[in-house]
Amino acid sequence: MAEGSVERTLVLVKPDGVRRGLVGEIVGRLERKGLRIVAAKMLRIAPERAQRHYAEHQGKPFYPALIQHITSGPVVALALEGRSAVAVTRLLTGATNPQIAAPGTIRGDLALGLTPNLVHASDSPDAAARELALYFAPEELLPYARVGEEYF
């Protein structure tokens, strides 16, 4: 993994990923890259939480379909920790549109559509902090490394 400060980020395995049985494949790819799970849960996202999560997209043509999809079934929420976790996770997930996502990325290899594109990944450290707070209480986030220890 590239050098950088240790960060936390949010990944949601969306309902299409859960339905297709790809949670293990997705988690495995993230872990093999050195990202550590510091919290995980399966839940069904209520419309109100989905609207807060995707507030920056409100008013855009794709917003209703986005809300409908993310609330259509269970998701797996992951809090990940690692060096440059936000950027590394975005690289692993690939472009939002799976038709142009690079081979070797989660979306490039596995996603079938633009809205049902398997995963959500925070796009910045600020977004990650805001999004993590929507899904996890502070006491649910368990640091992987101890103070003074080498991270990996």
DSSP 3-state of 119: strand
Q: How many CB atoms lie within 10 A of CB 35?
A: 26
C-alpha span between 79 and 38 (Å, rounded): 6
Residue of 53, 57, 69, 120 with catalytic role: 120
C-alpha span between 96 and 104 (Å, rounded): 14
69 is catalytic: no
Indicate the burial class of 104 (C-beta count within 10 angstroms; 0-12, 13-18, 19 or more). exposed
**Alpha-carbon dihedral angle through residues 43, 120, 65, 135, given to the nearest 10 degrees:** 40
Q: Which residues carry out catalysis? A: 120
